[in-house]
C-alpha cells in the first residue's frame, strides 16, 4: 500500500527545466566557458556541484558560475508554470489523506516561488531541498532525508521524477520511481533501462492511469 509519494519539482511539477538551461548557459558564457545547451539540459536535475563538475573542469570558476546561474534563474523564474496534471495529482493525493513530499535539488529561495505557482497550500506534507543535505542528486541523500523526516519506509513510498538522476538517487535508498517525460532530456527507453517502474508523458497521464490506486499491487 502506498502511503507516501515523493515528487521532484523542476521538470516534474513545474515547467522550469528550460529556464535553468538558459540560466546556466548565460553563466558559462559570462566566464568565457560556453557550453552547448543540449549538454546542459542532460545535466539538469543534478545538484549544482555535480552539474558544474560534469560541465566545467576549472573548479576555480564554480562558485562564480553558480552565483551567476542563481541570479539569472531568479530573474526568469516568473516564466515557469505548472505542468499538465501537476496541481490535480497533488490535490487527489491530498484528498486521499496521503503524505505528499517534495524533494528537490532547488535552492530554498526557488522553492517559495514554486509553491506559489503550484498553489498547493495545505496539500504538501513537507519538503526537502539541497540546503538540507550535504550531497544533492544523484546522491541519495535528499530522498534518504525525506524518508527520515516522513518516518516512512521505502516499501510504502513512490518517487515521481523527470530525470535519470531522480531514479539513481531514489534507488540509492531503496525507493521505486515513476518517470514523467516533461523534463525533456530523456526518453522512455533511457528511463526504463535506468530502472523506472513505469514511464508517463506527464502527471496528467499518470493521473489518468488510476494513480495511486493502480500502483498499490505493484509494490
Tens digit of each residue's pLDDT (9 = 90 or more) over 144-154: 999 999 999 99
More confident call, 114 vs 92: 92
Q: How do residues 39-76 score in pLDDT, each as one tens digit?
A: 999 999 999 999 999 999 999 999 999 999 999 999 99
Three-state secondary structure call for residue 100: strand
Report the candidate in 134, 146, 28 with the shortest Cα–Cα distance to residue 161: 146
For domain 4-15+81-215, the question of CATH label 3.40.50.1000 is answered with: yes
Question: Quick check: 217 pLDDT over 80?
Answer: no
pLDDT at residue number 216:
72
What are the grid coordinates assigned to 11, written together? 521538470
Rg of the chain, C-alpha, whole Å: 17
Within 10 angstroms of residue 14's Cβ, the number of other Cβ atoms is: 24
Largest CA distance in the chain: 53
- State the chain's mean pLDDT as an integer: 94
Q: Would you report the helix, strand and coil content of the chain in percent, each value rounded to 5? A: 50, 15, 35
pLDDT band at 16 (very low <50, low <70, confident <90, very high): very high
Does the reported pTM lie above 0.85?
A: yes
What are the boundaries of each domain within the chain?
4-15+81-215, 17-79
Return the CATH class of domain 17-79: mainly alpha
Amino acid at each position: 500500500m502506498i502511503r507516501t509519494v515523493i515528487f521532484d519539482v523542476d521538470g516534474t511539477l513545474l515547467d522550469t527545466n528550460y529556464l535553468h538551461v538558459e540560466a546556466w548557459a548565460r553563466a558559462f558564457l559570462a566566464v568565457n566557458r560556453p557550453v552547448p545547451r543540449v549538454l546542459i539540459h542532460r545535466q539538469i536535475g543534478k545538484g549544482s556541484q555535480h552539474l558544474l563538475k560534469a560541465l566545467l573542469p576549472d573548479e576555480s570558476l564554480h562558485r562564480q558560475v553558480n552565483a551567476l546561474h542563481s541570479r539569472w534563474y531568479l530573474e526568469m523564474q516568473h516564466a515557469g508554470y505548472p505542468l499538465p496534471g501537476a496541481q490535480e495529482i497533488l490535490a487527489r493525493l491530498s484528498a486521499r489523506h496521503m503524505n505528499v513530499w517534495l524533494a528537490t535539488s532547488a535552492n530554498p529561495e526557488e522553492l517559495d516561488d514554486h509553491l506559489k505557482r503550484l498553489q498547493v497550500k495545505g496539500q504538501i506534507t513537507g519538503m526537502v531541498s539541497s540546503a538540507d543535505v550535504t550531497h544533492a542528486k544523484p546522491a541519495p541523500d535528499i530522498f534518504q532525508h525525506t524518508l527520515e523526516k516522513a518516518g516512512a519506509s521505502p516499501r510504502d513510498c513512490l518517487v515521481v521524477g523527470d530525470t535519470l538522476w531522480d531514479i539513481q538517487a531514489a534507488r540509492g535508498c531503496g525507493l521505486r520511481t515513476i518517470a514523467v517525460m516533461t523534463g525533456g532530456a530523456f526518453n522512455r527507453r533511457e528511463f526504463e533501462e535506468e530502472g523506472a517502474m513505469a514511464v508517463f508523458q506527464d502527471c496528467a497521464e499518470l493521473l489518468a492511469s488510476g494513480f495511486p490506486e493502480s500502483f498499490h499491487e505493484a509494490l
